[in-house]
Amino acid sequence: MEELTQHGTTLHEQVHAAVKQLKIADSTQELMDLRAQSEQSDFWQDSDAAQKTMRHIAKLDSRVSPWNDLAQSVTDVLDLLKLKDDSIQAELTTQLENAQITFDALKEDLKFNGPYDQNDAILSIHAGAGGTDAQDWAQMLLRMYTRYFEKSGWTITLVDESAGEEAGLKSVTLEASGKVAYGKLKGEHGVHRLVRLSPFNSDNLRQTSFAKVEIMPKIDKPEDLEIDEKELKIDVYRAGGHGGQSVNTTDSAVRITHIPTGIMVAIQNERSQLQNRETALTIIRSRLAQLQLEQHAEKLGELKGPNQSAEWGSQIRSYVLHPYKQVKDLRTRHETSDPDAVLDGALEPFIQAYLEHTIH
């Protein structure tokens, strides 16, 4: 019984330390407040806002309930152990073993305690040095991430894309919605390098191409990152389609520039100016939040504009298809000799290696 009590006490301390680190109490209070809000008689008057709140409730609940249930379970076992009743020892042993298994599984959450790790993510891919090959490489990366999202059961929304002149993409922006989406994807932020025999030149020569991947936490609530309106330059213009034909007869496209950092976002989906403005503002906020994390800045006024370009010497990962096959992460040293699997969405080992690397 004494050994069981010692195990229970240790587990209780570990669980409560994890609950404190993950701020489960704060999230639980937020969940209670949102549930109370959802019970108000006028809650469903704005159905879009209500559905968004309900999705947030479900997301919070899936995060906090397992931890609250585990903490309660371990506390209950410790209370029963104080009775020193040998007749329930076997039952308590089983309960404690199950609690340990649950804790070992939930400990994965401790990798995701950054300020925005629970947020959805915005992913942008920009073709870099390498011409048509680089634009094709951007398209290949889009497929790789899309396959990863599909395998993970996440939902993705295309925000904006710019097609290449001959093939591939100049740039593309997606929203990725899934459990700890930003927390899992943040290590993908940086320049990705491809080495292969080029399908775009007649000599079939070996070609090195670059593409920049930006991963940003989705900040769709203005109160989560407040921007001074005076620091924004907002332009509206007519959206255009491929070949220059008019897609829209009104000035629905929106371009927003954050003057202090020079960050510029242009959105011209076939939607209203108001929707495009909101999307552009969300991406501006998300880019600023990412920049704040990178530069360890407490205030937006301390930020400098981004300067990393997609070229030789700044890459985080190399994908070699010729003269040998290898994908290697240059930060964690994690590598595989099966680039085809990686390009088909088998990214989890690289993601986990990055998370382990940042913890240690």
Say what percent of the chain tops pLDDT 90: 62
pLDDT band at 242 (very low <50, low <70, confident <90, very high): very low
Whether the pLDDT of residue 222 is over 90: the answer is no
- 40 phi, psi to nearest 5 deg: -70, 150
Residues paired with 194 in a beta bridge: 209, 319
Look at residue 249 in the predicted model and tell me its pLDDT. Answer: 55
Integer Cα distance of 267 and 256 in angstroms: 9
Question: Structure pTM?
Answer: 0.78
Q: Which domains does the chain have, with CATH numbers?
A: 2-111 (1.20.58.410), 119-360 (3.30.70.1660)
Integer Cα distance of 2 and 82 in angstroms: 10
Q: Which residue has the higher pLDDT, 55 or 330?
A: 330
- Helix (H) or strand (E) segment spanning residue 323: none
Helix, coil or strand: residue 149 = helix
Q: Is 335 exposed, middle or buried (0-12, 13-18, 19+ CB in 10 A)?
A: middle
- Report pLDDT digits (tens) over 50-98: 998 998 899 889 889 999 999 999 999 999 998 888 888 899 999 999 9
Integer Cα distance of 294 and 262 in angstroms: 16
